[in-house]
């Protein structure tokens, strides 16, 4: 099972462990010695056994509770969906754009999305099969944020895959913002990484507002939550009510106001984010 953990670790951190400096920095961030990490990766050949504490820290870095949680997840995770059926279902919408008001389609899509996102093997197979189907990726990943998986690498990697494929700025805003959320809540976000993510988010926010005449309440809320978390990391704490109120007024569309329903959605999501931030403190 350690070999399986090693493979997953190498897949995620291949660029870090390719250099001595990168490996040493990564070891420090994880909380293990550089020799322990080198031994785990097979770069040191000896008969010493890896400590369980080392395996726990490495597993936690990958989004698991500990090494036992990784083992349990690995053994239980198998593809549990009929992907031949999904090929047909999502193949029907490829290149057609997303449908906002098709209730029958969305009901089935919600069911499939939940099954795909709740199982790492399903998600892995979905990304592999639908890497070129922008509509399928958007329906599953952007329309159904999965909070329980937000801290796990496979989910974050899937969102970043969506960023590379989609042309829509509002989808990129959501994906980057939710990756920010997951890394922050798992305490796996440095200020340097946060600054890089926030820069990417705000670049896409500008594009999103130019591309859309209507107020995009969901991605605007995701962006605002990420912004609050970023301010927290910078130790620039402000009153959430004052900021969110000012944000809405500042970003009113030039031609007309924001629908009450959109205001309610925005305030509800942002309030939830601020409550999570308060609990995090």
Domain chopping of the chain, boundaries: 1-75, 83-279
Dist CA 281 CA 279 (whole Å)? 5
CA 67 to chain centre: 22
- For residue 145 the two structure tokens come to 């944020």
Query: Across 16-20, 98-102, 235-239, which has the greatest mean pLDDT?
Result: 16-20
Interval 129-141 mean pLDDT? 83
For the chain, the average pLDDT equals: 80
Dist CA 190 CA 196 (whole Å)? 10
Dist CA 1 CA 249 (whole Å)? 54
Q: Cβ(141)–Cβ(175) under 8 Å?
A: yes
Q: Cβ(181)–Cβ(229) under 8 Å?
A: yes
Per-residue confidence (pLDDT) for residue 76, from 0 to 100 = 65
Interval 202-219 mean pLDDT? 89
Looking at residue 144, what DSSP letter applies? S
- For 41, list phi and psi in degrees, rounded to 5: -85, 0
Report the candidate in 3, 1, 12, 16 with the shortest Cα–Cα distance to residue 183.
Answer: 12
Per-residue confidence (pLDDT) for residue 247, from 0 to 100 = 43
Dist CA 158 CA 231 (whole Å)? 26
Q: Is the pLDDT of residue 195 over 90?
A: yes
Dist CA 101 CA 90 (whole Å)? 17
| Residue 39 CB partners (closer than 8 Å, separation 6+) | 46, 48, 50
Per-residue confidence (pLDDT) for residue 173, from 0 to 100 = 93
Per-residue confidence (pLDDT) for residue 190, from 0 to 100 = 87
- For residue 56 the two structure tokens come to 């726990």
Dist CA 168 CA 138 (whole Å)? 10
The residue written with tokens 């999570």 in the block is 276
Interval 50-61 mean pLDDT? 88
Per-residue confidence (pLDDT) for residue 280, from 0 to 100 = 59
Q: Is the pLDDT of residue 202 over 90?
A: yes
> What count of other Cβ atoms lies within 10 Å of the Cβ of residue 162?
23
Per-residue confidence (pLDDT) for residue 248, from 0 to 100 = 44
């Amino acid at each position: 099972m350690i070999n399986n953990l090693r493979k997953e670790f190498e897949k995620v951190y291949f660029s870090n462990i390719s250099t001595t400096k990168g490996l040493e920095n990564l070891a420090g961030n994880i909380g293990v010695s550089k020799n322990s990490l080198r031994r785990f990766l097979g770069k040191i050949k000896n008969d010493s056994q890896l400590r369980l504490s080392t395996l726990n820290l490495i597993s936690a870095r990958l989004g698991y509770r500990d090494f036992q949680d990784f083992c349990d997840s690995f053994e239980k995770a198998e593809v549990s969906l009929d992907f031949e059926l999904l090929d047909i279902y999502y193949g029907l919408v490829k290149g057609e754009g997303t449908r906002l008001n098709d209730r029958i389609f969305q009901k089935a899509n919600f069911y499939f999305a939940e099954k795909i996102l709740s199982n790492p093997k399903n998600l892995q197979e979905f990304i592999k099969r639908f890497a070129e189907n922008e509509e399928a990726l958007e329906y599953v990943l952007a329309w159904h944020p999965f909070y329980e998986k937000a801290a796990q690498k496979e989910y974050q990697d899937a969102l970043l895959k969506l960023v590379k494929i989609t042309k829509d700025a509002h989808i990129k805003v959501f994906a980057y913002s939710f990756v920010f959320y997951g890394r922050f809540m798992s305490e796996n976000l440095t200020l340097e990484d946060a600054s890089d993510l926030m820069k990417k988010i705000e670049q896409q926010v500008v594009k999103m507002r130019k591309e859309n005449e209507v107020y995009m309440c969901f991605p605007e809320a995701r962006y605002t939550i990420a912004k609050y978390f970023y301010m927290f990391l910078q130790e620039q704490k402000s009153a959430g009510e004052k900021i969110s109120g000012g944000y809405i007024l500042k970003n009113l569309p030039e031609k007309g106001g924001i629908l009450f329903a959109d205001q309610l959605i925005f305030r509800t999501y942002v309030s939830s984010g601020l409550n999570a931030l308060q609990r995090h403190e």
